[in-house]
Structure 1
Amino acid sequence: MEIQTKKGRKWLKVTGIIILLVFVAAGVYGYMVYHSLKEAVVTMHQPVKRTVPEKREQPVALEKKEPFSVLMLGVDERKGDKGRSDTIIVLAVNPNTNSVKMLSIPRDTRTEIVGKGKEDKINHAYAFGGIPMSMATVEEFLDIPIDYYMQINMEGFQDIVDAVGGVKVYNDFDFSEGDSHFPIGEINLNGEQALSFSRMRYEDPRGDFGRQLRQRQIIEGVIDEGMSLSSLTKFSSIFNAIGKNIKTNLTFDQMVDIQKNYKDAGKSIQQMEIKETGKLINKIYYGLVSPEEKTRIQTELKKQLELQ
């Protein structure tokens, strides 16, 4: 009996040591993840100066779980050319309903370019005045505050997709682009394939609307993979890819608040689309949005941001 008791105590000690080592390892791992993320955010962080009155009197209080908006701009920057924001997506995040509204704005949408005093294609705002003019123009177009921005280098976006291990999407239109063929159904895409998948629009009878749908699918796929447990083992490559290819005015502390207070909202992403009528004006193609359609979009976003 005494021998069994000693053996029991010995195993208890061994078990205790193993549990302690697991906790230490988890702590070291958590420390590494924390500091890798912090380094990436320092590289990403790029404050923006707003030159026009904003639609919020006070900044969003993330620690109080207030709804907020993000303008995502996918930019192809070439040497000697500032580039245009060919991908324009607005995210309206509400932690109280645990949902995200994701709106794609077609790049040919005709609207007032704030700061230029004229109407033009909405994606020209970036070429004219960079991030500040893009934020102000989208803010005026949607009549909602744009709290944060994320500028994504589209050429480097494939690195982010590869870093999370690829993405899974459902393709509703059979087509080929470059060296890749995309059949109808659920498909797995690596970074290069995801970039081709999200860029094609000429073969799609829906034109830019079909392209927007595919872009939103890729973004949702990256979010899903990034939130999965398997991505924890890839944190170094993920943070490295993000740091190189994304710029944002979000600080590290704000990102921590978002992760803590808003993480459940990412589980319900609802896509929105703008209905437009194509028209040639002075031989240039534009997408025209009716007053009724603009009101519909604005109302839905204001409700999501609890501005009504």
Structure 2
Amino acid sequence: MNSNHTNLPPRAKSGGKGKKQPVPKKKKSPWKSFFKFVLIVLLIAVLAAAGYAGYLFVKGNQVIEKSGIDKPVAPGQSAKEKPLTVLLLGTDHRPETGTYLTDVVMVATMHPETNSSTLVSLPRDTLIELEGYKSSKLNAYYPRFKAAYNAAEKKEPGSGIPAEEEMKVMMSKYLGVNIDYVTVIDFQGFRDVVDTFGGVDVNVQYNMCHRDSVDGTDINLTVGPQKLDGKKALDYVRYRKSMNCSPKTKESNDFDRNARQSEVLHSLLDRMKSFGGVTKVGNALDAVSDNMTTDFEQQQIRDLLMTYYDIGKEDVKFMPITGEWRSPNVYINNDELDAARQALQDELAGKHNAQGTEADSKATP
């Protein structure tokens, strides 16, 4: 594969402090709940420590040291003084499959002076046509880069560049911003956190059955209120359509999955707030760090906490990019892509505009 990564677009210069604007009520985006889930998993290590002091503060530092890179933050690059851009990848990796398809691809820019963020998400099946790269679905690049790196590790022909770095470079070129950091989290991290807190209470609205021997999927949930362990909770939020089941069960659209993700998150938060949950937060922190890959420095994680600890949902601009599903690809809306690129650049320049439009995510296959 040709990996021509030169001539990346320059970072927009940061500007002055932006003024927050009132946010009108908007139709809920199916990405909001998942973004909250990503935050709860990625940031639990530092946020929990701030909330429970003493033991958890120490435990949080231990996890930061375990998760972050042990090297100093370069002068002038601290999150306390410089806007940052982060690539968030959610992979389908599980011990039973060994795959690394990125089912979630998001890019977030954050500015310390405006205490705000812009989050852009792309459909996993987006067809990427980019100079220097073989055209492919977006979710296929990470495992391809990973295979090339692993080959080089075995002294075989390969890139020798970590897959996470390759993704940063490619997405920087695609979105027109320089990505500073990347964080990857897998399905096992989600399951471990749910199990740590003793499961989640949900009300399954209809039977869900999907069996696929190829990737190990075995979803079989029955209607009614129940407590789900980590494996079944993951099945609950992932379910899309019935397969290899008789009788077939009802299909699920993006808005159904959004509601289920929110339901699981709320149940998880309730358990965290309970007395029993507090005593288990330390174990949850370990679960996160064991299933997360990031190139954040340890001190940068602390700087992020100190800078954005009070950021609210009204300070985050969500921009899910949609498109047209023409099997097997999603052809994204170019106007939305251009608007997303501009919004990321504006955020980096300190020009946060919370009143940007939210596109309904109706093109997800």
TM range, normalised to the smaller chain? 0.5 to 0.7
TM-score by length of 1: 0.67
Q: Does 1:132 align with 2:165?
A: yes
* Aligned residues between the structures: 262
1:52 match: none
- Identity level (%): 23
Question: CA offsets, 1:208-232, max 9 Å, x none?
Answer: x558846974897599679969665
3-state SS, counterpart of residue 61 of structure 1: coil
Deviation at residue 110 of structure 1 after TM alignment: 1.0
CA shift in 2, pair 1:132/1:301, >3 Å: same
In 1, distance between residues paired with 2:113 and 2:223? 38
Q: Deviations over 1:197-216 (max 9, x none)?
A: 33223368785x55884697
- Structure 1 residues 91 and 188 mapped into 2: Cα distance closer, same or farther (>3 Å)? farther
For residue 249 of structure 1, the aligned residue among 295, 298, 316 is 295
Gaps of 5+ in 2: 1-51, 146-162, 210-218, 243-249, 352-365
Letter in 2 for 1:61: S
What secondary structure does 1:118 align onto?
coil
Q: Comparing both structures, which one devotes a greater share of its residues to helix?
A: 1
Distance 2:68 2:323 in 1: 35
Tell me: CA distance 1:81–1:71, structure 2 relative to 1, closer, same or farther (3 Å): same
How does 1:1-308 map onto structure 2 within 5 Å? 30-45=53-68, 60-64=77-81, 66-77=82-93, 81=98, 83-112=100-129, 117-129=133-145, 130-163=163-196, 176=208, 178-180=219-221, 191-202=230-241, 209-210=254-255, 213=258, 217=262, 232-268=278-314, 269-280=316-327, 285-306=328-349
What is the SS of the residue equivalent to 1:117?
Answer: coil
Judging changes above 3 Å, is the alpha-carbon distance between structure 1 residues 226 and 158 closer, same or farther for their aligned structure 2 residues?
same
SS in 1 for 2:178: coil
Please report how far the alpha carbon of residue 121 of structure 1 lies from its aligned counterpart in structure 2 after TM superposition: 0.8
Is the 8 Å Cα contact of residues 102 and 270 (structure 1) preserved in structure 2? yes
Give the root-mean-square deviation of aligned CA atoms.
Answer: 4.1
Q: Report if the CA contact (8 A) 2:92-2:100 is conserved.
A: yes
Q: After alignment, is 83-92 or 73-82 more displaced?
A: 73-82
Q: Which residue of 2 aligns with 1:50?
A: none
| TM-score, structure 2 normalization | 0.57
Give, in angstroms, the shift of residue 113 of structure 1. 5.8
Rg larger in structure:
1
> What do the CA deviations read for 1:87-143 (whole angstroms, capped 9, x no partner)?
2223333444444444332111011467x5222111111012121222222222222
Residue identity in the other structure for 1:191: G
- Provide the rounded CA distance (Å) in 1 between the counterparts of 2:118 and 2:174: 17
Mark the CA change 1:252 to 1:216 in structure 2 (over 3 Å): closer, same or farther.
farther
CA distance in 1, matches of 2:304, 2:320: 25
Answer whether contact 1:167 1:188 (CA < 8 A) is retained: yes
Q: Which has the higher contact order (CA 8 A, sep 6+)?
A: 2
